[in-house]
Amino acid sequence: MIVNVAKCLNVSTDYLLGNDVKINKSEEEIKEKEALKKLLIENGYLSENEELTKEELKNLIEFIKINRKYIKAVK
């Protein structure tokens, strides 16, 4: 049954069972992008209809990782 569901959804059985790290990582990246976009919109740095390019997203995430301690201290 799991194999049939996986075929219908065009995903692996590992994905359905939560064992596919690659796909789970992609989902995590999507969530990060959505959260970052929401923050940028709330703070006036991005409009609702704008999208982040892959390069912009990569640079912003890298910036946040590098400046994490400062960002926490400012809060």
Q: pLDDT by residue (tens digit) across 25-68?
A: 677 777 778 888 888 899 898 898 888 888 888 888 888 888 88
Q: What is the pLDDT of residue 2?
A: 76
Q: Cα-flanking dihedrals φ and ψ of residue 49, to 5°?
A: -90, 0
Q: Is the dihedral of CA 31, 12, 10, 17 positive or negative?
A: negative
Report pTM. Answer: 0.52
Measure CA of the first residue to CA of the last residue in the chain; give whole Å.
49
pLDDT of the residue at 5? 74
Query: What does the pLDDT read at residue 63?
Result: 85
The residue type of 41 is: I
22 band by pLDDT with thresholds 50, 70 and 90: low
